[in-house]
Amino acid sequence: MDAMARALMSRPTLLMLDEPSMGLVPLMVEKIFETIRNISAQGVTILLVEQNAKLTLEAAQRGYVLESGASTLSGAANDLLGGDAVQRAYLGA
């Protein structure tokens, strides 16, 4: 049984993840985010700190952008994903 399965056996209401995709090959990053989406669909609230803005905002309902420890943007994930500021700063548009 993997670590994620063991962690979910107690039926948590909140799961906190810090950079779960750091250092992983792209195929594993996709699997990690697929797992995150599946857990969220089961009703578990997820607090995710992640530098991969695109995948994170695609999986999230709400997002916060932190710069130097301060929240500079917040809102619905879809709004942030489509917003000019996030596009320019984090998604290379």
Sign of the CA dihedral running 24, 26, 31, 34: positive
Q: Which residues form the domain of 19?
A: 3-90
CATH number of the domain within which 15 lies: 3.40.50.300
pLDDT in tens, 7-58: 678 888 999 999 999 999 999 999 999 999 999 999 999 999 998 888 999 9
pLDDT in tens, 56-83: 999 999 999 888 888 888 999 999 988 8
Q: Which residue has the higher pLDDT, 92 or 27?
A: 27
Structurally, the chain folds into a number of domains equal to 1
Instruction: Work out the pLDDT band at 1, boundaries 50, 70, 90.
Output: low
Three-class DSSP category at 73: strand
- pTM summary value: 0.81
